[in-house]
A and B are shown apart, each in its own frame.
Chain A
């Protein structure tokens, strides 16, 4: 698993920097940092290629759920077990591509509700589901959410626009803070990696993105950039320690930051029941993992390169 190997590398970094074997690690880093940079760049390039081919195939850059395509979600609050295959098979005769999700309470391990998502309009879905279940769905025992296809189309374009705007605004702020073009560019490149690579992974795993999912990507912009700001500030604005120490120092702080967030959202992902929150948490989890790679293998290498060229020690 890449994640595990990656974490090994991180631990290696941390142990090395703490155990006083600084010289050997420093030597290694100074020699190979450009090589290290290949990892995030390769991830980015692969992801772009993948997303491009995905776009060519489907006309979209990711799988959208019914909040972005238009359609109905009916959630039935029942602990009565549902046979997913059976219900899918029976419902698909009447409604368009039903997808069933079981919501479980992790504390009891019991099903609290199940939901059906489809592009079909709500009255037809309700009728089909009532027929399958053999009882009628009321405002009490079920929730019905319907989004018209025009609205979801506008949601989609709006949120994509929001994402582009957010990215641009973030870039402006970065330029205002650091004012030197190259380091700013590195931060922005890193932020782009934090969005593009997780998007490819989310697609690959088969998650369908909802409106809240897009909000999670927006959240990533904010989250991912703070470690880059930390790194850039420590490297360029503090000159007390030697460069290598500044980078590893920033890395220690940054990793602690990322790991707290990462584990917090990862744990929350397992516990929270609402699918909306679950999706936000899983996207953040993936994003924060990628951010660790992008910041400490990507942005850090680029900055070192930049410092070496500019004779910043």
Chain B
């Protein structure tokens, strides 16, 4: 039986291990429920007070243990259509629907109509008199009735903080995920997501780069993406890039939002009337069906075509520019008898014409601040077309709000990693690690013919692993494949160093223990310095994509040389046969 003397060094390792485990916090995995990752601002969910970081424990009385549980219950909670009877100045209409499917202005006249209401024959400009026997005279009446009669889902939700009873007309606007099993975060190449490495056309200085990062970040936020990481990376030759990683976006979205400059221009003839951004655009209507919506969907060709429309409010300056641009235009009359101006308002996105709007003759020379912007979305099915129209609308709104990105950009690298990858790959990594540990143990036994030596060696390797992961959790480093290779490298040098310590302590037994340890540390520190020296250039090379490798190796070997390997020297003393 080996009795182990607890030295200061060993105690330090034990304390560090305790702290590392605390940092990694694996106890999180014992927590039941699912995590709310993001709550869309101004949504029903946020109005009820749900916030990111809350844990959903129960939904409608059933306990929730996985995202699947949640989705299953939520998808079962569809509302049933009810009958609406709408009386207007142009007749009575009745239809079955989940929502009223039209919007009115202050005088209760229909301003837009879609879906089932449209199929039932309701048209724009009809004035609403009654809905399901309730009289309507103004917009407020309509809103009140709509809120009251449209069928709703009733749910009770219990989080770790509170219990909520909610009435919803649409699914909760929250992003959910399983509770992470610890504070360790996997890199994009192991957990899935989309990554873009974007290179500005010219070299940017520090302030230009931070402007680019800020605008890009705002764009992704405005567009509604959560879990976004944007940072600058620089390579050895001083090129700078913007690295964007998003867990839940498609590469196409990333390409549209960040890869393109998103220069929006509205022109009449050759004259620019207004451009995207805060200078010309006072505000943009979003997430408000009265001024931003899908107007209609129609079959076209093989599929469907939907049209979106939303209101944009111009600054006074831009409105006056528009007035002067329309002042000298001639009036034309269309076949239907509407009067419009001779030149349309052309909308350009990145110098490509996206839409051309006829300007009503009434607006000639007028400084109107409100402009309705429309555009298409297509798809094979009506649903797909509708979704695409919504996405295109969101993109255009984003561009109008945030303005053009300040620099021309080029997508240098665009990766989309399936979230399935981790499930396939992680077990093989754990197994490989276990096998490597086993191999090391085996060789130690064969070489020293002393089974007990295996324990300090394996313990030290494990400590180095845990401490490195602890630091990674603490600095919120995302462990990608390169980082894992780095950990392997660090632990590998650890084993080498331990062998040096064992052999030095056995070889030169005529020296004091202190001297023997000092001797082995000469070699260890020498080897350490060369590894660090050879890793420094990797910090920058390759736009920082291999930084994880350099980082984890360095963390691992610094921990090894300063904390665990000195303790190993103390620990091994108990095992070396005199």
Interface residues of A (CB under 8 A from B): 75, 77, 103, 105-107, 112-113, 122, 139-148, 150-151, 154-155, 157-159, 161-163, 165-167, 169-170, 172-174, 176-177, 211-212, 215-216, 218-219, 221-223, 225-226, 229-230, 233, 237-238, 240, 249, 252-253, 256-257, 259-261, 263-265, 267-268, 271-274, 276-277, 280
A-B contact pairs, 14 of them (CB 8 A): A146-B415, A157-B237, A158-B236, A158-B543, A161-B537, A162-B236, A162-B538, A166-B534, A166-B538, A174-B530, A211-B546, A215-B549, A225-B527, A276-B189
Chain B contact patch, size range: 35 or more
For B511, the closest partner residue in chain A by CB is A240
**Residue contact B440 to A260, C-beta cutoff 8 Å:** yes
Partner of B499, one of A113, A145, A177, A260: A260
Among B110-118, B136-144, B211-219, B490-498, the stretch in contact with A: B490-498
Q: Considering the chains assembled together, what is the distance between the CA atoms of A80 and B228 in angstroms?
A: 34
Interface-central residue, B192, B194, B530, by most chain A CB under 10 Å: B530
A165 and B537 CA atoms in complex are apart in Å by 7
B500 and A221 contacting across the interface, CB-CB below 8 Å: no
The answer to whether B533 and A172 have CB atoms under 8 Å apart is: yes
Q: Is A222 touching B531 in the complex (CB atoms < 8 A)?
A: yes
Residues of B close to A237: CB separation below 8 A: 522
Add 12 more A-B contacts to A260-B495, A264-B492 (CB < 8 A): A77-B418, A112-B424, A161-B541, A173-B529, A212-B485, A222-B489, A222-B493, A222-B535, A230-B527, A238-B508, A249-B503, A260-B443
Closest residue on chain B to residue A113 by CB atoms: B424
Smallest beta-carbon distance B251→chain A, Å? 7
Q: How far is the CB of A259 from chain B (nearest CB, A)?
A: 6
Q: Are A223 and B537 in contact (CB under 8 A)?
A: no
Is B546 touching A212 in the complex (CB atoms < 8 A)?
yes
Structural contact, A218 and B526, CB atoms closer than 8 A: no
Within 8 A of A (CB), among B502-541: 503, 507-508, 510, 519, 522-523, 526-527, 529-531, 533-538, 540-541
Q: Are B530 and A170 in contact (CB under 8 A)?
A: yes
Please tell me which one of the listed residues A77, A161, A163, A225 contacts residue B421 in the complex, with CB atoms under 8 A apart.
A77
Shortest beta-carbon distance from B85 to chain A in Å: 43
CB distance from A104 to the nearest CB of B (A): 10
- Is the beta-carbon distance between B416 and A107 smaller than 8 angstroms? no
Contact A106 B428 (CB under 8 A): yes
- When C-beta atoms are compared, the residue in chain B nearest to A221 turns out to be B534
Given contacts A148-B411, A154-B237, A264-B439, contact A277 B534 (CB under 8 A): no
**A154 near B235 (CB under 8 angstroms)?**
yes
List residues 403-424 of chain B with CB under 8 A from any CB of chain A. 410-421, 424
Per CB-CB distance, the 5 closest pairs between chain A and chain B, nearest first, are: A222-B531, A226-B527, A162-B541, A169-B533, A151-B412
Contacts A271-B432, A276-B482 given; does A142 touch B412 at CB 8 Å: no
Residues from chain B with Cβ under 8 Å of A166 in the complex: 533-538
A221 → B minimal CB distance (Å): 4
Contacts of B385 in A (CB 8 A): none
Q: Are A211 and B545 in contact (CB under 8 A)?
A: yes
Find out whether the CB atom of B535 lies under 8 angstroms from the CB atom of A218: yes
B148 sits at the interface (CB 8 A): no
A249 touches B507 (CB 8 A): yes
- Say how far A177's CB is from chain B's closest CB, in angstroms: 5
Instruction: Judge whether A144 and B523 touch: CB under 8 Å.
Output: no
Question: Is there contact, CB below 8 Å, between A238 and B436?
Answer: no
CA distance A163 to B414 in the complex (A): 26
Which of chain A's residues has its CB closest to B438's CB? Answer: A267
Write out the residue numbers on chain B whose beta carbons fall within 8 Å of the beta carbon of A274.
189, 425, 428-429, 481
What are the residues of chain B within 8 A of A113 when measuring CB–CB? 424
A268 partner residues in chain B, CB cutoff 8 A:
432-433, 435-436, 488
- Asked if B503 and A253 make an inter-chain contact with CB atoms under 8 angstroms apart, the answer reads yes
A212→B482 contact, CB < 8 A:
yes
A141 CB contacts on chain B under 8 angstroms: 418, 420
Q: Which residue of B lies closest to A105 (CB)?
A: B428
* Interchain CA distance A163-B410 in the complex, whole Å: 27
A75 to B440, Cβ gap below 8 A?
Answer: no
Q: Which residues of B contact A271 (CB under 8 A)?
A: 428, 431-432, 435
| Smallest CB separation, A223 vs chain B (Å) | 7
Residues of chain A within 8 A (CB-CB) of B428 are 105-107, 271-274
Q: CB distance A147 to B413 under 8 Å?
A: yes
Nearest-neighbor residue (CB-CB) of B536 within chain A: A169
A155 adjacent to B542 (CB under 8 Å): yes
* Shortest CB distance B492–A (Å): 5
A146 touches B413 (CB 8 A): yes
Q: What A residues does B199 contact at CB under 8 A? A: 150-151
Check B444 for interface membership: any CB of A closer than 8 A.
Answer: yes
Which residue of B is nearest A250, CB measured? B503
B577 at the interface (CB under 8 A from A): no
A143:B499 contact, CB within 8 angstroms: no
| Closest Cβ neighbor of A145 among chain B residues | B415
Check A218–B538 contact: CB distance below 8 A.
Answer: yes
Q: Is A215's CB under 8 angstroms from B432's CB?
A: no
